[in-house]
Amino acid sequence: MPRDTLTGSRIRERRVLRGMKQADLARKAGISASYLNLIEHNRRRIGGKLLLSIAEILRVEPAALTEGAGAALIASLREAAADMPQVSSELDRVDEFAGRFPGWAQVLADSHSRVAQLERSLETLNDRMTHDPHLAASLHEMLSTVTAIRSAASILAEPGEVDAEWQARFHRNIYEDSARLAETSRGLVTYLEADETSPLETGAPQEELDAALEKAGHTVPELEAGGDRDAALSALGRGLSGPARGLLRGWLDRYAADAAALPLDRLRPAVEEHGPDPAALAAALGADPARIMRRLAAMPPEDLPTPVGLAICDSSGVLTYRKPLPDFPMPRFGAACPLWPLYRALSRPHVILAGPVMQVGRTGTLLWADALATPQAGPAVNADPLYQAQMLVRPLPQGADPPATPPQLGVACRVCPRESCEGRREPSILASARR
């Protein structure tokens, strides 16, 4: 979907900025003014030599004219618009908006994701209020005590006859109840403070982890050198909430074990020989293909012949790790496209499902995916294992024949243009934009 439709608008904008007439630019570029007009209104595609010469006349880098706003930004803007259908945003001009006002568009997209984050926090808090038995009991006790105090106090304060004996009794009741109230509220405060998750501040722990790993480039040099996990934890985990640090600790433990079993020195020559092919590497190194996938995703870019992406999900399909590729984005939260081989692997554990994939509506780049589901832990006595699935995504390997009709899949239903799809869970905001 996000094909670049904006080059023309950018040319027009630059031309106007330079105070140049359409006819002048057309003449200098050697085309007719009416043809330039079509280009500027994005009705004719432009590329090649003509683009270069127009860029030169306008004294801008050609890329400044051709590079559209990021697909992720466009997708966020579409989501933001879809969440407020009562405001009829100019969805057909979303590219133009993002291209002309990239800063404002980013503000809008960020605000939208912040709203989504806060809404989820609110749900979490609401759930807690409703389902936390301790909190409910404490509040009930406090309200009961407050009621008793209020009743007794107003009997004493309001006009009306109260004899001495009853007066003494109510005084005593108020005294007792206030002590009880102090005790309950102190307990409640302790309980609330002990809970160090502050969901309003931080969002979901998984999101925090994703952000921290993305910032670190998915690689931990300390652990590659056999360093201490705790040192890496304090470096990467700065500013994370308690639960997110817990997730990070688990991730680093696995990373350390992977790095110890398959150090870079061993991996590098094998990758040079076989490419980032998990099955071939597993055979050559005698290693677990699932571990090889994780090692490939953790390799510094300069050691990899081609970039790789990796998604890991648990048995429920929730993504617990995501390292997207530019041509293979992954949803930031919520579930991904059910057509991903990642999910198919869960129903065919221990088999590497390898084949070409293509995300619909994107640049149409053909990629290759290797998916494998393996038990999370070793065999247990009389207990079924819990599986997790991993999917490595990489450019089409050399020598692989591109299929006539590559299996098409999406990112997630909301941002997928494939309307008739057996995997569809919810309507696409792209489809509704077209109607």
Partner 1 sequence: MGGQVLLIEDEPNIIEAIRFILSRDGWQVHTHSNGTDAAQIVRDRAPDVVILDVMLPGRSGYDILRELREDPAHSELPVLMLTARGQSKDREMAERAGASRFMTKPFSNAEVLDAVRALSAQ
Contact set with partner 1 (CB under 8 A) = 139-140, 143-144, 146-152, 154-155, 158, 160-162, 166, 169-170, 173, 176-177
Alpha helices by DSSP H, listed for 132-277, are 133-157, 164-194, 199-202, 205-215, 221-224, 229-236, 242-261, 264-274
Minimum CB distance to partner 1 smaller for 159 or for 402: 159
Contacts with 52 (C-beta within 8 Å, 6 or more apart), sequence order = 62
- Spatial distance between the Cα atoms of 404 and 392, rounded to a whole number of angstroms: 22
Kindly tell me which of 179 and 260 has the beta carbon lying closer to partner 1: 179
Question: Nearest to residue 257, comparing CAs of 282, 223, 303?
Answer: 223
Q: How many helices (H) and strands (E) does the chain have?
A: 20, 6
Min dist. Cβ of residue 163 to partner 1 (A): 10
CA–CA distance, 192 with 107 (Å, rounded to integer): 33
Give kind and range of the element (H or E) at residue 128: helix 102-131
Give, in order, the Cα–Cα distances in Å from 49 to each of 11, 30, 53: 15, 11, 6
Measured from the CB atom, the residue of 60 and 135 that comes closer to partner 1 is 135
Contact 325, 367 (CB under 8 A): yes
| Least distance in angstroms from the C-beta of 86 to partner 1 | 24
- Over its C-alpha atoms, the chain yields an Rg (Å, rounded) of 30
| Least distance CB 164 / partner 1 (angstroms) | 14
Q: Is 178 or 408 the residue whose CB approaches partner 1 more closely?
A: 178
91 or 155: whose CB is closer to partner 1? Answer: 155
Q: Least CB distance from residue 160 to partner 1, whole Å?
A: 6
**Shortest spacing between CB 191 and partner 1, in angstroms:** 18
**Residue closer to partner 1 (CB basis): 41 or 172:** 172
Q: How far is the CB of 148 from partner 1 (least distance, A)?
A: 4
